[in-house]
Amino acid sequence: MDVTQAISGRRSVREYTEEPVDASVIGNLIDAAIHAPSAVNAQPWAFTVVRDQKALRRVSDGAKAHMLATMGGNPHADHFRSHLRDLNFHIFYHAPALVLISGAAQGPWIVEDCALAGENLMLAAYAAGLGSCWIGFAQAYLNTADGKADLGLPAEWDPVAPIIIGHPKSAVTPVPRKSPEIRWVG
């Protein structure tokens, strides 16, 4: 698939079939992720692949409780609260797999590096016929001691990009883009 087709065709997918994603396919996605650029070529990322549905449920429950307890200042708090209180709301949408990209080294550009790896991974997933979605709801909780313990993450890792992967149940309607504000200097 041409890269521009992947960029414009990728969508956040929130409904998946139960079909598992092969370990070898996930390995290919991680290979695409590590081809991202990184500041001073530090390649500070580390990957955690979670296919254990009990672990995903544990993180979903923990993340919902953590967000409800801490999101006071979030401008979207009212909108989120009803979802987070809904016992049936699973933040990972019952996806068969989560790939969590964490910073495993210290440095000023860890978040940028891991986010670029995440975009590569999502584009590669789309090109492979898979769906993906970055789950920001998981981020704050996964950075707590309890969240790290849920997935057995080393204490010194900084989780950045929790990305679910799976076979989409159906095609997703594109989300419209705003016109970009562009200032030309020269």
Ligand X SMILES: Cc1cc2nc3c(=O)[nH]c(=O)nc-3n(C[C@H](O)[C@H](O)[C@H](O)COP(=O)(O)O)c2cc1C
**Where do contacts with ligand X occur on this chain (CB under 6 A)?**
11-12, 14, 133-137, 175
Reading the block at residue 120, the tokens are 């590569």
Instruction: Report, in Å, the least distance between residue 63 CB and ligand X.
Output: 9
Closest separation in Å from C-beta 14 to ligand X: 5
Chain CA centroid to CA 80, Å: 18
9 vs 27, beta carbon nearer ligand X: 9
Nearer to ligand X, 44 or 162 (CB): 162
Residue burial 67-76, b: 16+ Cβ < 10 Å; e: rest = beeebeeeee
Residue nearest to ligand X (CB): 136
* Residue 141 Cα to chain centre, angstroms: 13
Assess contact for 137 and 96: CB atoms under 8 A. no
The token pair at 42 is 């530090």
CB closer to ligand X out of 47 and 141: 141
| Cα radius of gyration (the chain) | 17
Minimum distance, C-beta of residue 81 to ligand X, in the bound complex (Å): 14
Minimal distance in Å, beta carbon 24 to ligand X? 26
Residue 154 or residue 174: which is nearer to ligand X going by CB?
Answer: 174
Minimum distance, C-beta of residue 37 to ligand X, in the bound complex (Å) = 18
- Residue 169 near residue 142 (C-beta atoms within 8 A): no
Give 14 or 51: the residue with its C-beta nearer to ligand X: 14
Backbone angles phi, psi at 78, to 5 degrees: -65, -40
